[in-house]
Chain A
Amino acid sequence: GAVVSQHPSWVICKSGTSVKIECRSLDFQATTMFWYRQFPKQSLMLMATSNEGSKATYEQGVEKDKFLINHASLTLSTLTVTSAHPEDSSFYICSATTAGRAKNSPLHFGNGTRLTVT
């Protein structure tokens, strides 16, 4: 149980275009989803927290107009990288928590999306 599906697993796009990444919880309701970004050989950096039905909360230094997050339902959150530039190339990973998550339950991660902007 507790499967998180992230799509696409990789994408190559040209500078100036927008890319949408989907994160779905397949067998549970996720009231909260987190979006992380990971540069090669570095840690996972939290970008934003997405709550169903409300605006996402962005971490300091993350441009909310560039990284649009929508949490339309209890099973789907999307991250759209707008007007992508080569410096946006990275590994993006979502994670989700179950509704009413017990304090000893883990975050469930998607498999990540490798974005390459040319």
Chain B
Amino acid sequence: QQPVQSPQAVILREGEDAVINCSSSKALYSVHWYRQKHGEAPVFLMILLKGGEQKGHDKISASFNEKKQQSSLYLTASQLSYSGTYFCGTEPQGGSEKLVFGKGTKLTVNP
């Protein structure tokens, strides 16, 4: 079952913050976040495992609420390089290693 991402698109000015949400109707083992630029392969951002995990990398962080089966990606003080489409990939409980990706959130950061 494909996770639901919101919003579908967001436009920011450099330095602004954004939150991208990912929710699943199924119990999850892990949530993966990737960023894809046009015509390129997805680039790994981070993985969150069950246990209410939170992670951060530079100014990008994420949280995973396994009870609510939701994950959020936080981008703070956005940079032009953050532009792209963000996908969450969910792995069902049991750890099948098979990721199902959401439809993506297109982020545009303008100067």
Contact = CB atoms under 8 A, between A and B. Distances in A.
The number of chain B residues touching the other chain, given as a range, is: 20 to 34
Interface of A: 6, 32, 34, 36, 42-46, 49, 93, 97, 101, 103-112, 114
Nearest to B46: A106
Nearest to B102: A43
B97 A44 contact: no
Interface of B: 2, 29-30, 32, 34, 39-44, 47, 49, 87, 89, 95, 97-104
Given A107-B89, A107-B99, A109-B41, 4 more contacts: A6-B41, A44-B101, A101-B97, A103-B49
Contact of A43 (B29, B32, B103): B103
B41 A107 contact: no
A43 B100 CA distance: 9
A34 B18 CA distance: 31
Contacts of B99: 34, 46, 107
